[in-house]
Amino acid sequence: MKQKTNPTQEPGMILTKTELNSYDTIIIAFSGGKDSMACVLNLLEAGADKDRIELWHHDVDGEESDLMDWASTRSYCRKFAEALGVKIYFSWKVGGFEREMLRENALTAPTRFECPDGTVGQSGGLKGKPSTRRMFPQVTADLSVRWCSAYLKIDVCATAIRNQARFIGKRTLVVSGERAEESPARSNYEVFEADRSDGRNAKRASSLRHVDRYRAVHGWTEQRVWDVIKRWKIQVHPAYRLGWGRLSCAACIFGSKDQWASLNAIDPKRVEKISNYEKEFDKTIQRKESVMEQVEKGTPYTAMNPELVELAMSEEYTESIFTDNWEMPAGAFGESCPML
């Protein structure tokens, strides 16, 4: 397949080994979840050069907070990268989700990102117009108010690319794991297009970057995702084994009644803190019900056991990434946070 200068959607489009390795760097947006994992395994099976691959984990809570995400996710991602023999770099908004949510007549925080030389770069947070949030992201497809995805993931990735000189004059491929099966909105995403950080038409030499976006598993079913994970005998994140169908934040704003009830069963202090923020803002995450009302109506997942709960809630993931006793996790094909 011929590489495009101005990429457009091609259903079922698959990049070949030669095309993948025509890029100087292949960045895979890696949450630690099944779809981003399938991207990694798919590219490796397609013959992508490991030395070109970088996993980028956008840390939702950053270094100063633990309000939203699973405590074990950072460690799980690092150990996955180590086990597969690929590089991993972390990036985050200073103060993470909580600082952005509490912003009042202030600028958004700077973005920080790990670099190959061991330093941590920083950009932003100095210009713009002060504004106020004082509310949780809203459950909608509009990223201007469902700001967690835009500010803590999408913008963080683009900022990290734009502010590293190593991408100037180079070809970079950004791979992400959105699948058409997840939602009508995601079914309309292009498989291959210029990334938002692309600068091949920039007027300044310091901004000249060739950056493409490739949704490597866009046409995959969930069954195919689990098949490749099983083939590689990867032990998935403990959240799936507890019953969660998708690895987003533990306290995802899209969480169902059963998910909130399950989280409350294993981490009631976190749910109480979120509930108190709802009261402080006088606006709930899901407009019609508070998180506590959802907890009361929900039923905790039955797969939760003390050992798995401890593993999920620990900052150190202690199990092996590979397992000879692979089992389909309890959350597979089950209830997932709805995607918009």
User: Are 103 and 172 part of one and the same domain?
Assistant: yes
d(CA 78, CA 185): 31
318 falls within a domain: no
Rounded to whole angstroms, how far apart are CA atoms 109 and 94? 6
User: In terms of domains, do 252 and 293 share one?
Assistant: yes
Give the residue carrying structure tokens 């993948």: 20
| One domain for residues 21 and 59 | yes
Do 92 and 122 lie in one domain? The reply is: yes
Residue 40 lies in a domain: yes
Same domain, 215 and 256: no
**Within this chain, do residues 138 and 275 fall inside the same structural domain, yes or no?**
no
The confidence score (pLDDT) of residue 7 equals 37
Give the domain-ending residue among 200, 223, 246. 223
**For residue 338, what pLDDT is reported?**
55
In this structure, the answer to whether residues 186 and 300 fall within a common structural domain is no
What pLDDT score does 336 carry?
64
**Whether residues 71 and 215 fall in one domain:** yes
Q: Do 207 and 251 share a domain, yes or no?
A: no
The answer to whether residues 116 and 87 touch, using CB atoms and an 8 Å cutoff, is yes
* Pair (116, 196) in one structural domain: yes
- The answer on 263 and 199 residing in a single domain is no
For residue 117, what are the domain limits?
17-223
**What was the pLDDT predicted at 337?**
56
Is 204 inside a domain boundary? yes
Phi, psi of 158 (to 5 degrees): -60, -40
In a domain, 139, yes or no: yes
Backbone angles phi, psi at 254, to 5 degrees: -85, 0
Q: CA of 318: how far to CAs of 48, 77, 241, 246, 312, in Å?
A: 29, 12, 15, 21, 10
Q: Is residue 219 part of a domain?
A: yes
- State the sign of the Cα–Cα–Cα–Cα dihedral 50, 52, 58, 62: positive
Residue 338 forms part of a structural domain: no
In which residue ranges of the chain is pLDDT below 70? 1-13, 336-340
Here the CATH number for the domain that contains residue 197 is: 3.40.50
Pair 194, 248 in one domain:
no
Domain boundary among 223, 257, 292: 223
Predicted confidence (pLDDT) per residue in 265-320, tens digit: 999 999 999 999 999 999 999 888 999 999 999 999 999 999 999 999 999 999 99
Position 3 scores a pLDDT of 37
Domain tally, the chain: 2
